[in-house]
Chain A
Amino acid sequence: MDFGLLFSEFPSLTFDGIALGAIYALISLGYTLVYGVLRLINFAHSEVFMIGTFAALMASSNIMGVKIEDDPLSGGKLILTIVVCLVVAMLTSGIVAVLVEIVAYRRLRKRGATKLATLISAIGVSITLVEAFRIMTDSLPREFPRFFEKSLVAEIAGAQIRNDKLLVIFAAGLMMFVLDRFISKTRIGKGIRAVSQDEQTSVLMGININRVVTVTFLMGGLMAGAAAFFYVLVYENTSFRVGFFLGISAFTAAVLGGIGNIRGALVGGFALGLLEVYGSVLLGTAWKHVIAFTILVLVLLLKPTGLLGESIQQARV
């Protein structure tokens, strides 16, 4: 138990935890949105994220021509590269998420298959995608070029603020805000909420359920793609199995916040990021999952629906 280190480094650790939590939160949105609408755990979502990291990599090398050994970019080219990579990663993940729904879930859904059948289908898609990427990448990790030199830009209340993580927090925050507004204000967003409240009634009210489901998967995929780009920007590498640990963490975050609840996923993501960082400082990195999951279990014992309660409508977005 190293309380001394936790207290002396608390501000910096908090900053790092928020940056990690932002990535968790973006991924967990995909789990929570799909659960809210279909009551289904989309196990293939971690692979949607994984494909996003490779899309970002392709965008940087093939579209922007950034080479691994290049010096860090600057000025307009830097901004353009970031935007292009982000957009490509988001679109790719979004499209993949929609395709997964069409290929693996839609038919099962129409035929009224059991939840268990859909779950197996999800696991199947996940394994297929992981193995496909394992074969395509020769099982090797891939490095990501350094877009800009990572440096400390400020020190706020003792917290050392690093530029790449700051960017991630800001951009992720912006996306969460936009998504939140989208769900609460737009017509299709209202549709999503209606379906998650009562599917049959919303169909009777004239909501096109397939459209709602597609948009839900698209939104989840877009967010996972953004998370993927932020991940490679900070950690600068990816591999076919990058989605595994992150997917589990993000899923945990969704449950922690209350699965089916958008703001819950955000709260859960940040909470988990902070818990992992604090916990690993306190007891050692080997213990971080133990700590995070112990707290998850405790929260669920006290409040089985998660921090903010289950399902989208209860959050009253």
Chain B
Amino acid sequence: MKKIISVFTAVALALGLSVSLTPAANAACSGKLKIAYQGPLTGSDAALGLNMLRGVQFAVKKSGLDVEVKEVDDQGDPAVAGPIAPSVSQDECIIGLVGPAYSGASRVSLPVYLSAGLPVITPSATNPTLFDFGGKIFHRAVLTDDYQGPALAKLVTNNVKNAKVFIINDASDYSVGLAKLVGFTLGSKVVGKETTPTGTTDFTSTIARIKKSKANAVIFTGYFSQAAVLVKQMRDAGSKAVFAGGDGVLDQQFVKLARKAAEGALLTAPAVPFDSANAKLAKEFKKVMGSDPGVYTTESYDATNFFLEAIKKGNKSRATVLNYIKKNSYKGLSKTLKFDDKGEVAGVDVNGFVIKGGKIVLSGPIK
């Protein structure tokens, strides 16, 4: 049914576009300036997207500027992101976009934004190849999987003696890329590999393979909703292997869904938790937004503030905003955003986390 739904959406959007396209083309923004956020706001990974959206909204609220936050829901799905990108790029009032959250969705969206000159800062898409799709408009407020992959491998080998690792990916762009890098770093310590496409609920055969491989650690490079199901079934089947995952798993929802089975899980993220960056601001966040900041809230907050800074300095079009963020730097909560010629930031660490007593606890930078 999902396919049918996305076909329907595509047709509906195509119809909608052809109507709205004509008057809006090439007109400069005449109303309120907008900053867009693009990521999964519905769908099974919505929790992660909402973390970021709230970071964007919070930054705009705090700035006091008259800027609208435009929500762009791509469900984290390239098939959804493709058809909606043109409508985003046609709204000239959108002068900057925070996102896309996911690498797969970024690949299809970025070329559209490149041709429209819309500057993009992604707070969370970590696939290393994205510059090739976004070119000059692409910027990233986190380290890529080129850093996260080795760090995740290291986190596991630092914590598990004589690690024998079983690597599982969920067939998404992000997951396959991260799994490759993890595997490359671990080399001969990898005792097995498996792909469990998103939506898999029964892991019987995967667990049989894990057991046979005698792995003492399992690294899952997908997202939290599936990770929770997998780790629960592992524990129920009596597997004691250490469970580890990347930033896709690092979400309070993972702990909520997997409960006791999540205990002791090792996680990485090139992200900085909001409350360890600024505890006071985190409290204010909770008060204003009505929920705790989550993973990538800090990075979204920083990215948005960089755009807002550009607006404050009088930049009111895509071209000047792009120029501003290319030439200047911004000292954010997580790090100083200063982009190199490929839109990447440098000089920061990937952080390690461990789940203890139902909480995600920062264990520090992975060395």
Contact = CB atoms under 8 A, between A and B. Distances in A.
Interface of A: 2, 4-5, 8-9, 12-13, 16-17, 20, 43, 46, 68-69, 123, 126-127, 130, 134, 138-141, 143, 146, 150, 152, 162, 235-237, 239, 241-242, 244-245, 247, 276-277, 280-281, 284-286, 288
B208 A13 contact: yes
Contact of B259 (A12, A68, A284, A286): A68
Interface string B178-189: 000000000000
Contacts of A9: 208, 212
A152 B238 contact: yes
21 contacts: A4-B212, A9-B212, A13-B204, A13-B208, A17-B204, A20-B202, A127-B8, A130-B1, A140-B46, A140-B47, A140-B253, A237-B229, A239-B44, A245-B199, A276-B202, A277-B205, A280-B206, A281-B205, A285-B194, A285-B196, A285-B203
B229 A284 contact: no
B1 A288 contact: no
A230 to B, nearest CB: 13
B205 A285 contact: yes
Contacts of B229: 235, 237
Contacts, number: 101
Contact of A69 (B2, B42, B259): B259
B212 A5 contact: yes
Given A16-B204, A123-B1, A286-B197, A241 B257 contact: no
Nearest 10 CB-CB pairings of A with B: A280-B205, A286-B195, A281-B205, A139-B46, A139-B42, A16-B204, A285-B196, A150-B236, A143-B257, A9-B208
A284 B259 CA distance: 27
B44 A139 contact: yes
Contacts of A43: 1
Given A46-B1, A68-B259, 13 more contacts: A16-B204, A17-B204, A127-B8, A139-B42, A146-B259, A152-B238, A235-B229, A276-B202, A277-B205, A280-B204, A285-B197, A286-B194, A286-B197
Nearest to B224: A141
A157 B209 CA distance: 20
A123 B206 CA distance: 33
B276 interface: no
A281 B208 CA distance: 8
A241 to B, nearest CB: 7
B44 A244 contact: no
Contacts of A140: 44, 46-47, 253
Contacts of A245: 199, 201
Nearest to B258: A143
A235 B203 CA distance: 10
B232 interface: yes
Nearest to A15: B204
Interface string B109-120: 000000000000
A288 B43 CA distance: 24
Contacts of A241: 2, 44
Contacts of B259: 68-69, 143, 146
Contact of A127 (B5, B41, B171): B5
A126 B8 CA distance: 14
Contact of A235 (B4, B47, B201): B201
Residue among B41, B43, B202, B228 having the largest count of chain A Cβ atoms under 10 Å: B202
A5 B207 CA distance: 11
Interface string B187-227: 00000001111011111111011001000000000000100
B291 to A, nearest CB: 12
B240 interface: no
Contacts of A281: 205, 208-209
Contacts of B228: 141, 143, 237
B312 interface: no
Contacts of A2: 209
B1 to A, nearest CB: 6
B47 A277 contact: no
A162 to B, nearest CB: 7
A69 B358 CA distance: 11
Nearest to B46: A139
Given A20-B202, A285-B197, A285-B200, A139 B209 contact: no
Residue among A46, A139, A286 having the largest count of chain B Cβ atoms under 10 Å: A139
Interface string B314-329: 0000000000000000
